[in-house]
Amino acid sequence: MHLNRPRLSHSLTLIPLLLALPALAQTAPQAGLQAQPQSLAECTPLTDNAQRLACFDRVAAQAAGTVATTAAATDPNAASATVAAAPAAPAAVPAVPTTAPAAGSAFDAPRNSAIDHTASVDPTVQAAAEYTLSSHWELDPRDKRGVFKFRPHRPSYLIATRTHRPNEAPYRDFFETEGEGLSKAELEFQLSFKMKLVETLFEQPIDVWFGYTQNSFWQAANHEASSPFRETNYQPEIMATMPLNYALLGTNIKFLNLGFVHQSNGQSSTLSRSWNRFYAQLGLERGPLTMTAKLWKRVNESLEDDNNPDIIDYMGRFELEGNYRLGGGHEINALVRRNFHTDKGAVQVGWAFPLAGPVKGYINAFSGYGQSMIDYNYFQRSLGLGVVVKY
């Protein structure tokens, strides 16, 4: 067998390639260095100034990218800080939507949290906001706060009062001495709250509330009679509240309440007074003026159990109440009851003025029948000065 021998001309052509291998081996690291240098030390051997500076820039850029990647893995918020400072186009601010206003309404409709997520339901924010019937009764979706939370009902106050002539007749049998009697000066205080029991009853916009009001008359300065509590009235009630959306002559009709209320003084024997009523209450609002109109029907009792069968003659069958908010936190309120058949009733007016936060000064004047249950058939005039809490 004969082997083919390489020709000499082919061998001579390989000599230049073999001579070039050392030069290629020397430039290979430099090419790799230009492609992806790992440290500044690898850039130092470069003799060309432009290449060495470009190598330094690549090392610095690679180090910055490594830090940004590590920060993004550990803290997503930190990654956003490394984004280029190119100004982003400002986002368009959507218009604040509102519920549709009532036909003919003179005032803007309230914001609705169902479509406006910026509407606040925070109690602190609402407490600082201006009082409205919607916020007081949680009529609008943005005002809803859920069930079983204490909310204000009637005014809560503490006032020092002085009456023109106290009603001593019911207490004469209980005076220990002949000269003992009632003082014209008293401390009167009222505590009132309500709590929602059911929200959106039967998937309808109807809320069910429980309310409680306690009003006490304390003969604090009557030391001869051991400073007794002359009278305390207890008034639990339950009511269903339905929001309305009507307007009449620029006045917004806001809600309708249907309720049942018990009121008594917790006494026995000849001092016992009590009655039960079904009522309907309408709430109206016109700018800074809020009004409520209440009509009631007494639940009749047997003559043996009725301690005050003629109470309607003095307390009437309806009650009007209004509150007008002046500038600077001042408020004027009034209450009127009347029985046009007997020409008997009562009028009460008050002025609340700012003191400190939710605590306001309060001046109150009353004239008529029914300031308390024991006085339902006794005409009385009184003037009071103290504080009222608005929360």
Q: Catalytic amino acids?
A: 262, 264
- 225 and 180 Cβ atoms separated by less than 8 Å: yes
Distance from C-alpha of 211 to C-alpha of 233, rounded to nearest angstrom: 14
Strand partners, 300: none
* Sequence-distant (≥ 6) Cβ neighbours of residue 65 within 8 angstroms: none
Q: Which of 274, 296, 281 has its CA nearest to residue 239?
A: 281
Take residue 239 and report the two structure tokens written for it: 């009511």
Strand partners, 190: 157, 215
Burial class of residue 143, CB neighbours in 10 A (0-12, 13-18, 19+): buried
Question: How far is the CA of 186 from the CAs of 134, 159, 282, 360, in angstroms?
Answer: 35, 9, 33, 20
Coil/strand/helix, residue 384: strand
Q: Which of 126, 212, 222 has its CA nearest to residue 181?
A: 222
DSSP for 236-267 reads EEEEEEEEEEEEETTEEEEEEEEEEEEEE---
Coil/strand/helix, residue 154: coil
Distance from C-alpha of 303 to C-alpha of 359, rounded to nearest angstrom: 45
Question: How far is the CA of 235 from the CAs of 160, 276, 369, in angstroms?
Answer: 22, 10, 18
Residue type, 12: L
Distance from C-alpha of 344 to C-alpha of 308, rounded to nearest angstrom: 16
DSSP for 36-97 reads ---SGGGTTT---HHHHHHHHHHHHHHHHHHHHHHHHHH-HHHHHTTS--PPPPPPPPPPPP
